[in-house]
Amino acid sequence: MLFAILLGQWRRDWCTINLMITSNLTLYELAGADPAVRFSPHCWTVVMALAHKGLEAARVPLRFSDIHKVAFSGQALLPVLTHGTEIIGDSWRIALHLLLDAFGGFARSAPTARS
Ligand SMILES: N[C@@H](CCC(=O)N[C@@H](CS)C(=O)NCC(=O)O)C(=O)O
């Protein structure tokens, strides 16, 4: 019994450590003058995809006048997600990256087509 408890704790710790190592993620999001106000539905799609996968990302609020800061992504819309050295724009492409490519394939459910 004690062994099972310790094993369970170890697995939880390991998953947490693993997540911290693997989720080198930064999400650039549209925000209002108040950076706490995040009103973009496309950015929310990504926030929900991150939550679905249980991933933590650094979230960078950008106002319309700051969008030039994601010029490194080769386009001028938000959201943009960086995952290590990968740069991904477009909420749908980001969702596919999170759900299918990068973090262990399908979790509980994943979309099969954009609707
Ligand atoms: N197809 C893109 C659309 C992204 C998009 O339209 N983002 C808007 C915010 S919701 C934006 O960045 N607008 C900035 C602008 O128009 O200057 C996606 O799904 O991510």
pLDDT in tens, 70-83: 999 999 999 999 99
Given pLDDT bands bounded at 50, 70 and 90, which one contains residue 57?
very high
Which CATH number is 79's domain given? 3.40.30.10
Phi-psi region of 105 (alpha: psi -120 to 50; beta: other; left: phi over 0): left
> Which of 42, 62, 91, 96 has most ligand 1 atoms within 8 Å of CB, for mutation?
42
Report whether residue 91 contacts ligand 1, using a CB cutoff of 6 Å. yes
In a domain, 9, yes or no: no
Strands 80-83 and 86-89: antiparallel
In a domain, 29, yes or no: yes
Report whether residue 44 contacts ligand 1, using a CB cutoff of 6 Å. no
Between 74 and 12, name the one with better pLDDT.
74
Between 13 and 101, name the one with better pLDDT.
101
pLDDT score recorded for residue 4? 72
Report whether residue 67 contacts ligand 1, using a CB cutoff of 6 Å. yes
Do residues 68 and 18 make contact, with C-beta atoms less than 8 angstroms apart? no
Report whether residue 64 contacts ligand 1, using a CB cutoff of 6 Å. yes
In a domain, 46, yes or no: yes
Range(s) of the domain holding residue 61? 23-102
Is residue 21 over pLDDT 80?
no
Average pLDDT of the residues in 50-58: 92
